[in-house]
Amino acid sequence: MRRILHDLEFLTSPQTAGRLSGTAGARRTAHYLKAELDSLGFDSALQPVDVPAARLISTPKLVVGPRAFSPRRDFAELTALSAGGQVKGQLLVVREDDLLPPEDFKGKVILIPERPQGFNLAETLNAAIELGAAALLVEHGEPRWFHKTVYSGSGKIPVLRVRASIAEELAQQNGVLVELDLPLERATRPCNNVIGVLRGDSDFTLALTAHYDHLGDDSDDVRFPGAFDNASGVAAVLSAARELVEEKLPFNLLVAFLTGEESGLWGAKQLIVHPPMPISAVINLDGIGSESKLNALRLGHRQRGDPLAELAENILLKRGIEPKWIGGSDDSSAFISKGIPTLGLGQQPTGQARSVMHTPLDTRESLHLETIHQGVEVLVEIVKSVSMADPKGLQRPLGSLKIHDKEKYHVHAK
């Protein structure tokens, strides 16, 4: 476990700065992972990937009347629906049953102080835009920290989530001046997948994948270590690779650390279009170590039918680990959508573990190393079971699927 701890400490350290795709921290991470694969004897390379994302380029500001509020604590951007920009306008408080003339909305900063049951933010935003609103503030509970995302949408005005207690306070200040600065950049930046190949004696290729990108630290020194999501998966795959190089596997082993997962699975899509060799099956690991014992793992599918997932189910049951037939929107879904037998492993975070994801609380100290070690053992056993089975038995008929087909891919929000 010493090497797992070493890898986690690097991946979550200030020098990787939250591993946001296209940043210096992500590049340092990629070179670290490549060097590790090189040391193990893999034929490694950096695979270019262009990753679009919404990124804060400086600290957001929200001033209402005389009071300035704290980003990430009091409010946060909503990147999937928001545009960046500077706004100055009067606050207009709007509740569910209010009937206001359309002209009242023009140029105003709209505040929704209470989200009614069945509230649809996208529809509300579209209505606000049509009425000429300058920005939208929406009450969003009382989290310890607001979650951060980098998924890039096509927003037209700034949209902020506001702490419920702050929204309640602001609801008494209808008409006060609001100054808002949301330095949100939507851009595509060059990034890299990290790929390593260990060649076997057949044309069957099993890929072990985990995304190494995260959200990036905020410019005001608020850190996003991304330990569970997904330094844990990267460290576990790297640890499994260290064991598997000694196994003399009868097939090709492809280890791929992927970028761009947080903004649309871009690294996985690039690997599908441009694999170093045709990919026969995939095991993806995203998130492990959130609990003190490995009681359950999701399989990445809602129901049986994938031969690799069914093989893993049997192994988990023998180990006393509950296999969860749960699908997801992580990188495994990109491979599954192309008909590739894929196991989407990971712990399904609940309670406290779920609440820390995409916040500064997702730290290395919050992880359980023994659980990650158990995950490595499971991963290695699954790979060994593939080597003992007839690999072709894991391959479903793929029909006319062409792994190298350069088609456009639908973007999945996480």
Report residue 392's pLDDT band, with 50, 70 and 90 as the boundaries: low
Burial tier of 8 (Cβ tally within 10 Å: 0-12, 13-18, 19+): buried
Report residue 391's pLDDT band, with 50, 70 and 90 as the boundaries: low
Structure tokens at 176: 């006060």
What angle in degrees, to the nearest 10, is found between the helix axes of 2-11 and 369-388? 110
The answer, yes or no, to whether residue 381 has pLDDT greater than 70, is yes
CATH topology assigned to domain 60-182: Glucose Oxidase; domain 1 (3.50.30)
* Per CATH, domain 2-53+188-394 is 3.40.630.10: yes
Task: Give the single-character DSSP code of 230.
Answer: I
Q: What number is the average pLDDT over the span 294-322?
A: 96
pLDDT of residue 348: 81
Report residue 96's pLDDT band, with 50, 70 and 90 as the boundaries: confident
Mean pLDDT over each residue of the chain, to the nearest integer: 92
Asked if omega into 230 is within 30° of 0 (cis), the reply is: yes
CA gap 225, 348 in Å, rounded: 19
Domain-by-domain residue ranges, the chain? 2-53+188-394, 60-182
Phi, psi dihedrals of residue 391, rounded to the nearest 5°: -55, -35
CA gap 147, 144 in Å, rounded: 9
Identify which of 183, 177, 186 has the alpha carbon closest to the alpha carbon of residue 107. 177
pLDDT of residue 352: 67
Q: Which residues pair with 138 in a beta bridge?
A: 112, 161
Q: What number is the average pLDDT over the span 267-292?
A: 97
* Spatial contact of 193 and 241, defined as CB atoms under 8 Å apart: no
The answer, yes or no, to whether residue 405 has pLDDT greater than 60, is no
The contacts of residue 1 (CB under 8 Å, 6+ apart) are 369, 370, 372, 373
Identify which of 273, 219, 231 has the alpha carbon closest to the alpha carbon of residue 77. 219
Q: What is the pLDDT of residues 337-365, one digit of tens each?
A: 999 999 999 998 766 667 899 999 999 99
Model pTM?
0.92
Lowest mean pLDDT among 309-313, 327-331, 379-383, 395-399: 395-399
* Spatial contact of 75 and 145, defined as CB atoms under 8 Å apart: no
* Spatial contact of 79 and 152, defined as CB atoms under 8 Å apart: yes
Residues in the chain: 414
What is the DSSP annotation of 51-111?
EEEEEE-S--EEEETTEEE-BTTTEEE-TTT---EEEEEEEEE--TT----GGGGTT-EEE
